[in-house]
Amino acid sequence: MSLVEVRDIFQSYGARPILERVNLSVGEGEFISIVGASGCGKSTFLRLLLDQERPTRGQITVDGAPLKGEPDRSRGIVFQRYSVFPHLSVRDNIVAAEGLQRPLGRLFGQALSAARRRADAVLERIGLAHVAGQYPAALSGGMQQRLAIAQALAAKPRILLLDEPFGALDPGTREQMHRFLLDLRGEVRMTVFMVTHDLREAFKLGDRVVVFDKTRWDPHDPTAFGATITYDFDARNGGIPYQLKEDQDVFPDPAPQPVASSGQQARP
Ligand SMILES: Nc1ncnc2c1ncn2[C@@H]1O[C@H](COP(=O)(O)OP(=O)(O)OP(=O)(O)O)[C@@H](O)[C@H]1O
């Protein structure tokens, strides 16, 4: 059985449709990259998965049960803009994230020391060990974003939602964070939904790349119709299944063959 089932989701804001008839079935441990034109509703889709918003129509289930309409620690999220605890040191930001997974939400004594050692190991892996004792305000934007990503990963949510998490990072740091995310996925079975504008990144990290687009278009009223999932590519087997030129941001010609359409997953 799949972990996340998205069935016939519609979302409108007022009279304006954003998403139409979105269907998606995602197995536990799958990494879904989400791409699509700016403003087509990708972040809206993440908010629906996070249960921050209710769809106008349709249903999302996790493990066969409808979302509960309340915050749930099984789902973590990283937005493009970093969000870390400003009053905690870099190290304790990681410790706090791990502590959120505990029943009382706090760590003491030996458990705290052990968590700080684990946090230091994480900071070493993402190149922030030298600022472990500093406060986030002393860090650059890119470093704060790295910390926010590491924090979400340290919480080991069952479902991780990433909204353009690497967009603000320089290429070298982005590579480092990709490696960290892939390594961690090898260690912890997380189901990941990641919105990105970078096709290379989408295919490199994702098991599947789903494309949101409009199937209907009114030239007199561009906002008349919403977007849906138009392609669902199989992106496994170690990366990009075709060659992308540097800075290419459209699907190349010849286009890769979709494994399914309309949000239906077709796997061997
Ligand atoms: N709460 C809201 N109320 C009204 N309109 C909204 C709301 N949230 C989003 N929108 C509109 O819905 C559309 C889709 O927004 P969304 O942020 O989901 O797109 P996106 O695909 O993530 O865009 P981008 O790639 O630029 O981040 C946009 O036109 C946005 O202005």
- pLDDT by residue (tens digit) across 161-201? 889 988 878 898 889 889 888 888 888 788 999 999 999 99
Nearest CA to ligand 1 atom 31: 39
From the CB of 43, is ligand 1 less than 6 Å away? yes
From the list 192, 202, 129, 208, the residue with the least C-alpha distance to 166 is 202
- Report whether residue 97 contacts ligand 1, using a CB cutoff of 6 Å: no
**Residue 97's pLDDT is what?**
81
123 has a pLDDT exceeding 50: yes
| Token couple for 140 | 């650059």
Distance 4 CA to ligand 1 centre (A): 22
Does residue 184 or residue 35 have the better pLDDT?
35
Mean pLDDT of 246-266: 46
Amino acid at 7: R
- For residue 245, the surrounding DSSP H or E stretch is none
Percentage above 70 pLDDT, the chain: 79
219 residue type, one letter: P
Cα 13 to ligand 1 centre (Å):
9
For residue range 66-115, list pLDDT tens digits in order: 887 665 666 655 555 556 788 999 999 988 887 665 544 566 677 788 88
Return d(Cα 90, Cα 96) in angstroms, integer: 10
pLDDT of residue 260: 45
Pocket test for ligand 1, best of 22, 42, 56, 214 (most atoms within 8 A of CB): 42
Copy the structure tokens of residue 218.
Answer: 């009114």
User: To test the ligand 1 pocket, which listed residue (20, 22, 33, 44) has its Cβ within 8 A of the most ligand atoms?
Assistant: 44
Q: CB of 214 closer than 6 A to ligand 1?
A: no
pLDDT band per the 50, 70, 90 thresholds, residue 52? confident
Find the distance separating the first CA and the last CA of the chain, reported in whole Å. 16
pLDDT at 101: 56
Q: For ligand 1, atom 13, name the residue with the nearest CA.
A: 39
Distance separating alpha carbons of residues 24 and 17, to the nearest angstrom:
19
Say how far apart CA 134 and CA 146 lie, in whole Å.
14
Tokens of 121: 């190991």
Strands (E), 1-154: 4-13, 16-26, 31-36, 57-62, 65-66, 75-78
